[in-house]
Homo-oligomer: A and B are copies of this chain.
Amino acid sequence: MKLNRRATIPPWILIDPLLQNWLLEDLGRGDRTTQNLLVGKKKSGRGEWIAKEEGKIAGLPFAARIFRLLSLDTEFTPIASEGATCARGETIASLDGDLDALLMGERVALNLVMRLSGIATLASKYQEKIADLPAQLVDTRKTTPGLRIMEKYASQVGGAINHRMGLDDAVMIKDNHIKVAGSIEKAIATIRQRIPYPLTIEVETNTLEEVRAALDNGADIIMLDNMPLERMSQAVKLIRQSNKNDRVKIEASGNISLDTIRSVAETGVDYISTSAPITRSTWLDLSMNLNVAS
């Protein structure tokens, strides 16, 4: 059975520059409405964020940080836990503080949390299909440019395991790399001797011959890409029976849908990767109710 995992917030020193850029993207040369209405007058506001449809919430800690970057006197307090399923109409966070910060940060913070919650919601649907099987749901590098660290976080909130975060933290040998090298054997050998040694090497395979080559040449992860189910089962068997390496991990990839994921998991693979929770999800609808303090 799978453990109950909590997603990990990276250190703020990494995240703050992103949040600042996003605030500046929306502010441009300033908030013409709010700043010209208040003109320096301190007003405070109080409000809450409401879920307008059912779904899993992700990203509230980042929303809290966005308001903090705008004003140290403003508090955004998550009510829903990350990954909690909220009903339509449920209050997921409360806000209290400088009215101008609340108004200037609203759109950016909501946009982020709506996008992330949409991902977590769909990821959890995939994950639930295979919750009782050993196979784990994993994501891919198909993420919105500039948002990867966030979208992979949301994917984790939704129950997925992250795959590599970029081109640098693991090797993935695909058909073109094999063509350049001449064979899977040569590709693995050439790359293995040059990479930082703790990195793992994954090889994309389509046939059982390729699976065998990957296995024989020390691949750490073997991806069964777009294989029919029967071939996938054979590949899993081939790998498990090998004495060569009892630790090789098996990843299934390609054409994973809510309909197919369970049968893929039943082949006995360790990981099932799909971009769907990120590329096929829509935003979870949220809104902010705000009251000017009297």
Contacts and interface: CB of A to CB of B under 8 A. Distances in A.
Interface in A1-58: 2-3, 5-11, 13-14, 18, 20-40, 43, 45
A257 to B, nearest CB: 12
Given A8-B194, A198-B202, A281-B282, A14 B27 contact: yes
Contacts of A170: 32, 196, 198-199
A146 B29 contact: no
Copies held by the complex:
6
A87 interface: no
Contacts of A176: 45, 99, 103, 290-292
Closest 10 CB pairs of A and B: A28-B168, A170-B198, A22-B145, A279-B283, A28-B166, A31-B167, A10-B30, A146-B146, A162-B196, A36-B194
A161 to B, nearest CB: 5
A171 B33 contact: yes
Contact of A13 (B34, B70, B249): B70
A14 B31 CA distance: 11
Contacts of A31: 11, 167-168
A260 interface: no
Interface stretch (A108-116, A209-217, A232-240): A108-116
Interface stretch (A124-132, A185-193, A261-269): A185-193
Nearest to A45: B176
B161 A144 contact: no
A90 interface: no
Given A14-B24, A162-B195, 20 more contacts: A5-B194, A6-B194, A26-B148, A26-B166, A26-B167, A32-B167, A32-B195, A32-B196, A37-B177, A37-B181, A107-B141, A107-B167, A142-B283, A161-B197, A165-B196, A169-B199, A176-B290, A179-B291, A275-B283, A281-B282
A163 interface: yes
Chain A: interface size category? 35 or more
Contacts of A27: 10-11, 13-14, 166-168
Contacts of A70: 11, 13
Nearest to A33: B171
Interface string A231-255: 0000000000000011101000000
A258 interface: no
Contact of A191 (B37, B141, B281, B285): B37
Contacts of A256: none
B29 A169 contact: yes
